[in-house]
Structure 1
Amino acid sequence: MKVSDFDFDLPEDRIALRPVTPREAARLLRVDGVVREDWRVGDLPSLLKAGDLLVINNTRVLPTQLKGTRVREGQTVAFEATLIKSLDGQRWQAFLKPGRRIREGDTLRFDDLSARVLSKDEDGVYVLRFEQAASEVLNGLHRLGGMPLPPYIRSKRPEDEQDKSDYQTVFARDEGSVAAPTAGLHFTPELLQALRDKGVLFEEVTLHVGAGTFLPVKVEDTKDHRMHAEFGVVSADSAARINAARVAGGRIIAIGTTALRLIESACDADGRIHPFSGDTDIFITPGVPVRSADMLWTNFHLPKSTLFMLVCAFAGTEAMKAAYAHAINSGYRFFSYGDASLLTNKSR
């Protein structure tokens, strides 16, 4: 398939720079084949039934946005770094801006942290080795780092203190992501309680969101795109409870594309979830059946992105193109801080 098949025009003013307050007030587009309905996030309990199970990603975002200086031959240059994956605690993959001012072998300083540039790959991903121990690097991130907001927000405004709470879900437990599983940002303690009162079940899994979230698709054909691997865990107990909910007649609702990609990686051809621990680079495009979930709760995604391809695979390409056209014409807000959609799996 051509990547251009997943393009669409999105006005700049549809990109959300802040979440709505309260979060339950965000808009919600329900898509079930050709049927589209406009709701609010706070209406979710009325769209679900007792026994339905929400699979949520409990990853926690690390503050990996750093301001630094490059030191070379007595001259210094200011730059920004976004750490995107820990390789062993001391070595990290990173994006550097402006990267053209940085070379292999350079020493980089981030206040009392320092690192040497080991390499740079064809995607513009650097590998840095910090001089401090892994525990010191982690402590330094919490002291010095800012939230790694997506480029489409950072290009329009700087990260600030409000983002430290706005860009973290209420489910956040297991630290390790460099981007939020943004579908979960809509949930509040009040909404969770309303869902529990309805008899809706919850199950936590962990997928640490990595570099693939930031990288554009640069190829012309989807078969040539390489997904970056991300580490995830589905425990044996979680797998058993998800399977039991489906056997009992409940629908499995993935909260976000990260949760969906993980449980699909742990799923067999019969739709049964198995324990999983390791990296996944699963790439879900139209024509790839999704067996793990009956519904998907997700935000509105970038044109020509792997995530828009995923929702097309899940709910049908023509249905999603029509849904996105409706969302744009109706003033829905897009991307990380934007509105939500609830999609039905066309394969089930």
Structure 2
Amino acid sequence: MNVARRTDAVLLLVALVWGSSYLAAKTATAVLPVTAVLFARYAISALACGALAAVRRPERPWSRAEFRVGSLLGVTQAAVLVLETYGVAHTSAANAGLIISLTIVLTPLLDRVGGRRLPRAFFLAAGLCVVAVGLLTAGTGLHAPRLGDVLMLAAAVVRAGHVALVGRLTAGRRMDPMRLTNVQTVVGTVLFLPAAATHLTDLAHSGAATWAQLGYLALFCSVFAFLAQTWAVQGTSASRASLLLGTEPIWAVATGIGLGGERFTLWASLGAVLMVAGTYWGQSIERAHRAVPAKTADSPTRTSRTPASRTPASRTRASGARASGARASGARTSGG
């Protein structure tokens, strides 16, 4: 297997792991309170990241900016995971994975590329995703959305804001993604400890199956996925990485139906198809829209009027970093 194929395989494996995280979280929350699950996931991740940091040779000392940015992102990430985990506890794992993929089309709306208006086709793709959500939440017929679906929709909005914040806080700044993840996992552990304190006994007496699920969520959906993605995106383009990682909702549906025994109605199946199509369509439009300034970056007129720190090329690199590296910086550190 050549390097390109190996890189693609690793990125697909990361997407599979993240997609399967929704079923693992749903199964774990059936046994333990949500706060206990979140605390355990964060604590295990923090210990693993701390161990990796201890054996890693630092190229430079920690900066105050890494602590500040990591702490802020730790709070926003915790908000995402609270909504995701409560949401998946009250809906199907397949629905959770599909609805959260709205992040792909919501993020560009919050993080405008170069301040330019997005193409009309992008809003058509976003509208297609909204229709898909309606079909997914309708289930067997038109009715009020389930609590879990509403929470997952809120999680998609908050996660989009988190991803945009990652890009804005880290663009053009020398920050180690691993250190940011270390800080975020510690912040999450501290935040969820008070809420989980009364459930620590239940957590300690959980069965082997539950601990296996918690370990999978923390070590595979967090630590392994982060390291694997960080390695893989260095050997491919941002567009190809985002395309492969965008298969996450497909894997969420596959594991929900194949392993979780979940079933889709005809309308929900149509919603799933529209959601995948809409997110991929929106992603391709945004990617092409972002690449337009790069083609004219060599224009003498444009270059002479544009400060070096705000050139189209620098925007493209920063946006590319957001597209392929936002999760590596903490946008999806702990899975669904």
Which protein is richer in strand relative to its size?
1
Which protein is richer in helix relative to its size?
2
Query: Shorter-chain TM-score: what band?
Result: under 0.3
- TM-score of the aligned structures, taking structure 1 as reference length: 0.24
- Relative contact order (C-alpha < 8 Å, sep 6+): which is higher? 2
